[in-house]
Amino acid sequence: MVRFRIGHRDGSGRLPASPGACATLAIELDGVDVSGGRLEDRLGPIVATLCEAVARLWRDAEGSSAISIADGAYELVIARQGECATLTLAALLRPARVLFRDLEVDLDALADAASRAGSELLPHEDGDEALRLRRGIERLARVRRRPPSSPSSGDHAAEDDHGPILRSHDRAGRGGDETPSFGFDLRDDDGRILRYARGDDLHALLAAGHLYVHDSDGGELCSVKGAPFLLLRDLSDSGLRLLEAARGGATRFPLVLGRDAPTLGFDLRGAALTLEGRTLRCRPTDVARSIFSAALDLGGVLLARNARLADHPHLHALVNDARDRLELCEQLSGAQISEPVVLRPASERAPDGGPPLAPGALRRVSLRPAWQRELPPIERWILRGSRTWIRHARGLARLRLEDGGLELELPLGEGAEVAIGQRPGPFFVAERGAIACHGPHGRLLWRRTAPVAGRLRGAFLPKGSDLAVLRLGDASLCCVSLENGDERLHVEPPTSGRATWAASGGLVALAASNGLVYGIDAASARQAWRVPASQAWSQLAIAHGLVIGAVELRGHTFLEARRAHDGEMAFRVELPFTRFGSLEAMPGGVLVTGIGPTGGELVKVSTKGAIEWRARPILGGTAPLVTRAGGSIFARGAEGACRIERGKVRWNVPCGPGAAPSVARGIVALPGESLALLGADTGRSVIAEGAIAHLPAADHVVATRSGTLVVGDAEGSCAGLRLAGALAVVR
């Protein structure tokens, strides 16, 4: 006898007091709760799905269905077995395991139990959940008016492996390596693998078997009984975490083989794996490779038995993850360098920081409107030379900063994304799964299906080349022809959820969260080098022939530099920050901002890896936003602004939060709720009394070389303002 007993979550037999409340579901066979009191959820949708599943199996003599419980923590699998049905309950949270398997019940008794549970729960539900539950009960009642379907006469022969399937990858040339091999066997006595036709339940994948661990000589170290799919799925995830722990500087890592199974203790510093008193000398990358290979082999065995399993989402995910993770192991095993990148001389020079400041001390100034333009609400400003690109609610516009002239206007749909190169030329739009390239005046040059799903995050146009490098999705780079959009190179770091990039001269550098750094020769569309970093880089810059990355590790920060032409290590230095802000090239080194013990701080690191100076102005608890001009650094935090010269704070004034400063002709403009104008020499306000009331909001501020301030607000009002009054007194 089977029964689905519903009770209150406090363990009593009472039903939920309010609609939609959580309750417990007990699966009883002959009065015994085989589910062990584990199943707790909002039972309206669960019991409705149960009724629908039994109704399907009533008509499908070879089918199976699954009911997900507790947000996927458990899965109850119901399958037809001749004139009966079988119940299997799997726990999917790590360590995943089968709690009970193939308990046989009478199909008619199962339908009665599902109907009773639904009828018992229905008075305590309301709204959409009550409607769905009622429909499930009624559907089950309708199908039971006819006898259940009979099994087909076809015989699904059971498959049984004669011994474990082992995987031993090539370890030639790694003298003394004792990397273990992971293998498995499968027992499909009831033919569940061959019977799979469609669906996403786990019935076909829960074939029983063992997971084996063998030493390098083939001797068995241990075996774990269970469903190889669940065991290897968990172990594959653990293998990925093992790689992350090794990159993150951890000293030990436990590899859990399963519940009630031995744990492999990995000494990451000593490159040693310990299992039940035996120690094997091996590298984390090799152990992870062996795990992923076994998972890939399992997928191959299952697909060989039933090709229809290729459409099973759980198996598809296991195989794809294993393939990506194997590629990650290969890439982490060492750098692959082809020909060094030939860097253009321009990439050796850092930007000079703009024109020099006006001499002397500034007096009060006023601002004269030069032009004004109304646009739809502004989402983004992109400054390129003497022009600004504005992404607004209805499309894209390009304005001349000096006179506000509208050079280009392109209507775009909601959700369209725009990428503008660093120099004049074509620009790119991603919309509805396609990427379009437009000429400088907006004419459509070509449109292609996007090579990867996700956002268009940036574009780089290498000088003297007919190629463009596009940053796509979370971590991909794609080199395409400007002429027709043909793809020349696609770099997609395996298992990487995010990446950061930088470009200079002919080099594009990509630092992925999987710990790999890629150097791309943008002019020839080839991967020049690939190296594993000590840890994943969170920030990236290219300066003075170096690719420089920021590493954040358990409250400590490091700057790591590699030679731009071949990826070889140049230096690694620890910085006095707890969190990074930004990296920016400057003459003689790189400017680094971050959060230190006193709040926002700035540090200059030389090209040799030495900290040349450290500035600690009073800026608040955020990383400073910086602008360089005339050899000075102007920094702004949430509570203050300052000017720094050669590491010395020349002035420091309080201010509210806002965007980075803009500097023009001795004036420092601070965007915010209201525009502030400070003298670059003293930090004092230089705006004339009453002038501030006539200024538009300053969500965006851009300063031109001639001294025009272009301001705009989020609502779309833009104006060009020219400085008037006594600008400077020469000392």
- For 523-538, the pLDDT digits (tens) are 888 999 998 887 889 8
Query: Tell me, what's the pLDDT at 9?
Result: 54
Average pLDDT, integer, range 409-436: 90
Query: Tell me, what's the pLDDT at 626?
Result: 95
Give the C-alpha separation, 234 to 290, whole Å.
14
Q: Is pLDDT above 50 for 175?
A: no
Per-residue pLDDT of 491-510, as tens digits, reads: 988 887 789 999 988 899 99
Q: Is pLDDT above 60 for 649?
A: yes
- The last residue of one of the domains, among 117, 143, 169, is 143
Average pLDDT, integer, range 291-304: 92
Could you tell me the sign of the dihedral formed by the alpha carbons of 282, 285, 289, 295, in that order? positive
How sure is the predictor about 461, in pLDDT bands with cuts at 50, 70 and 90?
very high
Query: Tell me, what's the pLDDT at 261?
Result: 84
Give the C-alpha separation, 18 to 40, whole Å.
15
Backbone φ and ψ for 526, nearest 5 degrees, come out as -140, 150
How sure is the predictor about 397, in pLDDT bands with cuts at 50, 70 and 90?
very high
Query: Tell me, what's the pLDDT at 591?
Result: 95
Query: Tell me, what's the pLDDT at 253?
Result: 92
Backbone φ and ψ for 206, nearest 5 degrees, come out as -95, 20
Q: Is pLDDT above 70 for 242?
A: yes
Most confident of 56-60, 590-594, 705-709: 590-594
Q: Is pLDDT above 50 for 729?
A: no
Q: Is pLDDT above 90 for 169?
A: no
Could you tell me if 286 and 185 lie in one domain?
Answer: yes
Could you tell me if 186 and 328 lie in one domain?
Answer: yes
Q: Is pLDDT above 60 for 111?
A: yes
Query: Tell me, what's the pLDDT at 172?
Result: 37
Q: Is pLDDT above 70 for 624?
A: yes
Least confident interval from 169-173, 278-282, 610-614: 169-173
Could you tell me if 562 and 419 lie in one domain?
Answer: yes
Any idea what the CATH number is for the domain that residue 352 is in? 2.130.10.10
Specify the number of domains making up the chain.
Answer: 3
Give the C-alpha separation, 435 to 453, whole Å.
11
Per-residue pLDDT of 690-702, as tens digits, reads: 555 556 567 788 8
Query: Tell me, what's the pLDDT at 688?
Result: 65
Could you tell me if 272 and 391 lie in one domain?
Answer: no
How sure is the predictor about 338, in pLDDT bands with cuts at 50, 70 and 90?
low
How sure is the predictor about 455, in pLDDT bands with cuts at 50, 70 and 90?
confident
Cross-strand partners of 676:
670
> Is residue 337 in some structural domain?
no
Q: Is pLDDT above 70 for 639?
A: yes
Q: Is pLDDT above 70 for 77?
A: yes
> Is residue 339 in some structural domain?
no
Could you tell me if 456 and 583 lie in one domain?
Answer: yes
How sure is the predictor about 60, in pLDDT bands with cuts at 50, 70 and 90?
confident
**What does the radius of gyration of the chain's CA atoms come to, in whole angstroms?**
33
Average pLDDT, integer, range 573-597: 92
Q: Is pLDDT above 50 for 27?
A: yes
Give the C-alpha separation, 478 to 464, whole Å.
18
- What's the first-to-final CA gap in the chain, in angstroms? 101
> Is residue 324 in some structural domain?
yes
> Is residue 520 in some structural domain?
yes
Could you tell me if 365 and 297 lie in one domain?
Answer: no
Backbone φ and ψ for 363, nearest 5 degrees, come out as -100, -170
Query: Tell me, what's the pLDDT at 68?
Result: 87
Q: Is pLDDT above 80 for 208?
A: yes
Instruction: Please give the share of the chain, as a percent, with pLDDT higher than 70.
Output: 88
Give the C-alpha separation, 699 to 701, whole Å.
7
List, as own/partner pairs, every contact residues 138-147 make where C-beta atoms lie below 8 angstroms and the sequence separation is at least 24, other chains included.
Answer: 139/51, 139/52, 139/55, 140/51, 140/52, 140/54, 140/55, 140/58, 140/111, 140/114, 140/115, 141/115, 142/55, 143/55, 143/58, 143/59, 144/58, 144/111
Query: Tell me, what's the pLDDT at 641?
Result: 94
Least confident interval from 147-151, 352-356, 457-461: 352-356
Average pLDDT, the chain: 84
Q: Containing H/E element for 553?
A: strand 546-553
How sure is the predictor about 17, in pLDDT bands with cuts at 50, 70 and 90?
low
Domain of 374 in residue numbering reads as 345-725
Could you tell me if 95 and 179 lie in one domain?
Answer: no
Closest CA to 17 of 152, 172, 125: 125
How sure is the predictor about 563, in pLDDT bands with cuts at 50, 70 and 90?
very high
Higher-pLDDT residue of 364 and 602 is 602
> Is residue 551 in some structural domain?
yes
How sure is the predictor about 342, in pLDDT bands with cuts at 50, 70 and 90?
low
Query: Tell me, what's the pLDDT at 726?
Result: 47
pTM of the model: 0.72
Q: Is pLDDT above 70 for 75?
A: yes
Q: Which residues, other chains included, contact 142 with Cβ-Cβ below 8 Å and sequence gap of 6+?
A: 55
45 touches 129 (CB < 8 A): yes
Instruction: Please give the share of the chain, as a percent, with pLDDT higher than 90.
Output: 32
Average pLDDT, integer, range 40-62: 86
Average pLDDT, integer, range 103-122: 88
> Is residue 151 in some structural domain?
no
How sure is the predictor about 1, in pLDDT bands with cuts at 50, 70 and 90?
confident
Least confident interval from 4-13, 355-364, 544-553: 355-364
Q: Is pLDDT above 60 for 466?
A: yes
DSSP string over 205-249: GG-EEEEEEE-TTS-EEEEEEE-HHHHHHHHHHHHHHHHHHHHTT
How sure is the predictor about 18, in pLDDT bands with cuts at 50, 70 and 90?
low
Could you tell me if 480 and 581 lie in one domain?
Answer: yes
- The last residue of one of the domains, among 143, 168, 200, is 143
Backbone φ and ψ for 147, nearest 5 degrees, come out as -65, 150
Could you tell me if 709 and 642 lie in one domain?
Answer: yes
> Is residue 264 in some structural domain?
yes
Count Cβ atoms below 10 Å from residue 467 Cβ, excluding itself.
19
Higher-pLDDT residue of 611 and 9 is 611
Could you tell me if 100 and 173 lie in one domain?
Answer: no
Average pLDDT, integer, range 649-672: 88
Could you tell me if 554 and 577 lie in one domain?
Answer: yes
> Is residue 152 in some structural domain?
no
Query: Tell me, what's the pLDDT at 149?
Result: 81
614 touches 601 (CB < 8 A): yes
Could you tell me if 322 and 378 lie in one domain?
Answer: no
How sure is the predictor about 8, in pLDDT bands with cuts at 50, 70 and 90?
low
Backbone φ and ψ for 76, nearest 5 degrees, come out as -95, 120
Q: Is pLDDT above 60 for 165?
A: no
Average pLDDT, integer, range 142-166: 64
